[in-house]
Amino acid sequence: MTLHREGNATISIATLLFLAINAISYKVLFENYFAIFIILLIITFFLLGIILWFFRIPKRTFTSDDNVIVAPCDGKVVVIEEVQADEYFPDKRIQVSIFMSPLNVHANFNPVSGEIVYNQYHKGKYLVAWHPKSSTENERHTNVYKTEGGKEVLTKQIAGALAKRIVNYNEVGKKVKQAGEMGFIKFGSRVDLFIPSSADIKVKLGDKTTGGISVIAQW
């Protein structure tokens, strides 16, 4: 397991802060309040452990198949429904939404190989990620992928009540590989997929997904 580069600044700041707290508590508490010193030491190491765990990138063997759309993130499927697309597409699409808890790996992955034909950041609210309106009203970053066969898939990285920083590595004209990194969302959030209605959906509500591996749909 490695740590994601998006965590470098957060991990460095947290490490320095916790070292300072423990250095001060050692001078003030060690001799006369040893139990409190130990408690503070345990708490700071626990919090640092949580931060390191959040930015983890486990080793994976990714799915590589031009006939399928893979999960753009780890999480739980919370929405599967046909909707009128609100961005880019003029027609109806199947929306598949995956909720990411703070315990999930938060790197995001390209669901298909192809060219980025649309890349747009939207300012917005910070409703809880499972709120129905979060897809259209929250801060979000949209990508549209066009495969060699001309099929298009739209993804939305959506900020939640805790997630207030979305990172996206794509740009219009960029050629990307399936399961390559799309970006990163800090803390709880979700990613929506908008898939052609003709696709065969391979997941159901409540399913757990693994980014870059789980098959969401087949062309």
The residues carrying an active-site annotation are 189
- Quote the distance between the C-alpha of residue 49 and its chain's center: 20
Percent helix, strand and coil across the chain, each rounded to 5?
25, 35, 40
- What distance in Å separates the CA atoms of residue 24 and residue 47, rounded to the nearest whole number? 18
Kindly report the CA angle at 5 between 192 and 64, in degrees rounded to 5? 50
The DSSP call for residue 90 is S
> What sign does the CA torsion over 211, 215, 217, 219 have?
positive
- What distance in Å separates the CA atoms of residue 106 and residue 6, rounded to the nearest whole number? 10
